[in-house]
Amino acid sequence: MDNAFLTRNPYHAGLAVTPNCDLAPVADAQHAHHFRNSLPMYKLIAFFCLALSLFSFASTAGAQALPVDSLDRIAAIAEDDVILQSELDRAVANVLSQYRQNPQQLPPRQELERQVLERLILLRLQVQRAGSTGIRVTDSDVDQAIQRVAESNKIDVRQLRASLEHEGFSYDEYRKTLKDQLLVQRLRQRVVQNQVNVTDSEVDILLGSNSLKSGEVHLAHILISVPEAASADQIQVARDKADNVKKQIDGGMDFSAAAIRYSNAQDALDGGDLGWRRYDEVPETFANLAEGMQTGQVSQVLRGPSGFHIVKLIEKRANGQKLVTEYHARHIEINVTEVVASEDAQHTVRDIRARIVDGHEDFAKLAKQYSQDPNSANAGGDMGWFPIDQYGTRVAEVLATLKDNDISQPFQTDVGWHIIQLLGSRQQDRTDEAKREQARDVLRNRKAEDEYENFLRQMRSEAYTCASVAEYSSASLPQCGAETNEKKPAAP
């Protein structure tokens, strides 16, 4: 995650999720061993970025304190829900607060309101679709997310809440915003999980093509979107607008200001900044383009599936050799069960350790006799060679304190009590494995991005939306009472 993102406004982040903090699918916790702690292998998902950014929002307190008119009017309708004028005003006020030092980068107020309203509508439609398809987020889920936010900022939840309230944020509103982001993230998971599959042969083909790029690139982009099933005239209007934007940039207009003013992408209000991403984490067209660009260079207008793009290369950097420290260890495990209390399991492990350390009995022999880990007991508790985090954080924490041949004190995991002996460590070159995993990620991300982008475009085109206020209406958001987008049944 780029550091700049951490200073962005939380409500802004919720409205304009940047691709480097996109709502990426969350991989299930991987269990290489049955006592391994369940550590979710998160990519940078939007709700976490939203929450992290929340802790650096001192400048937005005044905006959040805006009063809600008792006669609040409706700004827009999004299917079965409405967006109130007060919601839009607070969101716009937060954007204005964020850019108060550089107001010239913002588009005219009316255009800014339209952009923010469109993002509110898209977010609301995704939340509605999540609910209608049975996706649920419990209070416990939100509590756990908040706990992770607090831990990442090295504070507790009580301090986090106090800081929010001190800065003028409603804790309840923060929880609701976080819950919405979790719903959207899980919606994306559901949409792509059954549609995105990467085979070994696809990985082999990509690696054999020598087209896989290593390294990272920092890009910004501007999107001039084209509506679903656009006519030739609509495409030409978008093309002309993109050409005009490029002309203004060539004439000296700041790229970030142009993105804020003209881009239709979700990251427009971030100046189009994509942050640092691996080459395989950006669209293939962008990656191929960036490879031949110089730092600071701005591309010509590019045609893409969703419209016309202008790309700026901010910086790029190379990757080196992938070296991984592996550990060789053995352990003895006594499980906690309905009939074996935690204290009893701990006592057994402590006695076994004393027999090894003080009585000089053989570790492997005792592991075969007592260990209840079916994967290693018959091998004398031998766990083989593995990366330090393979068996979860608790095992990793214990291993980090040991020297070769040291035997740990008894420690507890989800399944019971253990002792572990470090037999050795080594540096392994995992460059080839890392490259293969990168290739798999490339293919998975490409498919997931395309699948969800198509889903969003279809959902947006099918949804009944309209602006209750005339000045908020546009080609994609007609004024209520003059709609051209008739309500269609929701997609299954």
pLDDT in tens, 233-266: 989 999 999 999 999 999 999 999 999 999 988 7
pTM of the model: 0.52
Domain boundary among 371, 396, 429: 429
Highest averaged pLDDT of the listed ranges 279-288, 295-304, 361-370, 437-446: 361-370
pLDDT in tens, 151-210: 877 888 999 898 888 877 788 888 998 999 999 989 988 888 777 888 889 888 888 887
Question: Angle formed by the axes of helices 109-132 and 85-98, to 10°?
Answer: 120
Same domain? For 78 and 181 the reply is yes
Mean pLDDT of 48-61: 36
Residue 37 lies in a domain: yes
How many folded domains does the chain comprise? 3
Percent of the chain with pLDDT over 90: 40
pLDDT band at 430; cut points 50, 70, 90: confident
Q: What SS3 class is residue 422?
A: strand
Please tell me the predicted confidence (pLDDT) of residue 280: 72
Same domain? For 49 and 168 the reply is yes
Same domain? For 72 and 171 the reply is yes
How many angstroms separate the CA atoms of 349 and 410, rounded? 6
Is the pLDDT confidence value at 2 over 80? no
Radius of gyration for the alpha carbons in the chain, expressed in angstroms and rounded: 27
Percent of the chain with pLDDT over 70: 82
Phi, psi of 108 (to 5 degrees): -55, 150
Choice between 482 and 277, residue whose per-residue pLDDT is larger: 277
End-to-end CA distance of the chain: 34
How many angstroms separate the CA atoms of 389 and 405, rounded? 19
How many angstroms separate the CA atoms of 478 and 466, rounded? 5
Same domain? For 305 and 374 the reply is no
Is the pLDDT confidence value at 354 over 60? yes
How many angstroms separate the CA atoms of 334 and 336, rounded? 7
Burial of 398 by CB count in 10 Å (0-12 exposed, 13-18 middle, 19+ buried)?
buried
- Of the candidates 380, 379, 370, the residue with the CA atom closest to the CA atom of residue 410: 370
Domain boundary among 319, 346, 373: 319
Burial of 305 by CB count in 10 Å (0-12 exposed, 13-18 middle, 19+ buried)?
exposed
Residue 10 lies in a domain: yes
CA 274 to chain centre: 13
User: Domain with 297 in it: what CATH number?
Assistant: 3.10.50.40
Same domain? For 192 and 67 the reply is yes
Is the pLDDT confidence value at 86 over 70? yes
Same domain? For 244 and 265 the reply is yes
Please tell me the predicted confidence (pLDDT) of residue 184: 92
Q: Which domain holds residue 274?
A: 215-319
Residue 466 lies in a domain: no
The string of DSSP codes covering 347-402 is HHHHHHHHHHHTT---HHHHHHHH---TTTGGGTTEEEEEETTTT-HHHHHHHTTP
Burial of 391 by CB count in 10 Å (0-12 exposed, 13-18 middle, 19+ buried)?
buried
